[in-house]
Amino acid sequence: MPVRHFLTLNDLSREELRRLIQRAIELKAKHRAGEIFEPLKNKVLGMIFEKSSTRTRVSFESGMAQFGGHAIFLSSRDTQLGRGEPIEDSAQVLSRMVDAVMIRTFEHDIIERFACHSRVPVINALTNEYHPCQLLADMQTYFEHRGDIAGKRVAWIGDGNNMCHSYINAARQFDFQLAIASPAGYLPDTQILAAGEGHARLVDTAREAIRGADLVVTDVWASMGQEDEQAARAQVFADYQVTAQLMALAQPDALFMHCLPAHRGEEVAAEVIDGAQSVVWDEAENRLHSQKALLEFLIG
């Protein structure tokens, strides 16, 4: 049986994704009830971090510990990757020693090449193009608070980045309508957007995207590695801050999400992210539960 990887949301079927979300909700309930559940006892997850992260490391490492397994943290400084070893060679070696590999890296091509030479499942914990694990947490959060997202309207406000790309994939897989408001020069990839035709579309303004939305999502204006663009981006994105006035255009029970870390007063006003419609802390917690469901699916 071929090895299953999770490099984008498109690696799983619609039915598999929905079962994964429901399983994540079940696992969350088990954990909160204090139930010991160790389906991955003696299993090992290799975690390669070429980009640092708080939530990704803690959620995967905690998830493996709660499942009875173990996680090994590897930064570029701790591996031969940092000394120029071909990604294909690293994949051959590591995948003979662990049961799955999680990678947080730069170009999506890196993780695709690794997966091609891996004997074990590879999980995309973020690339420049996609962030599918965050979308599992976001979808779980919506299902928990509002039920099925099929047929709902989602507004993406801001950079057409890896999160936006993953929302385009999610719109097709979970069958919702995505309106994207991004400034010129920061639009999502045209091919990824074209693949979402019928479910994802560009609009001209943040007001147009958010009007009637059931879910409003944004991200920082300058992501990791773009710090030197901070000042320029602050000017370009000035009309894309999610404010209380904008949120008032959405449905009265609309939710607000942000993958964090957030910059209050930039992409989101403090009164929104700290307000009653914000579910960002549940969203952050659900990285743990949805990734446990993913690990169980891939290697359990």
Residues annotated as catalytic are 104, 131, 134, 219, 259, 287
Distance CA 300, CA 292 (A): 10
Residue 29 is encoded by which pair of tokens?
Answer: 């309930």
Distance CA 91, CA 100 (A): 11
Q: Which of 275, 273, 278 is nearest to 262 (CA)?
A: 273
In one-letter notation, the amino acid at residue 88 is E
Residue with tokens 């980009």: 51
Residue 287 is encoded by which pair of tokens?
Answer: 């990285």
Distance CA 262, CA 279 (A): 13
Calculate Rg over the CA atoms of the chain.
Answer: 19
Residue 31 is encoded by which pair of tokens?
Answer: 């954990």
Judge whether 224 and 51 are in contact, CB under 8 Å: yes
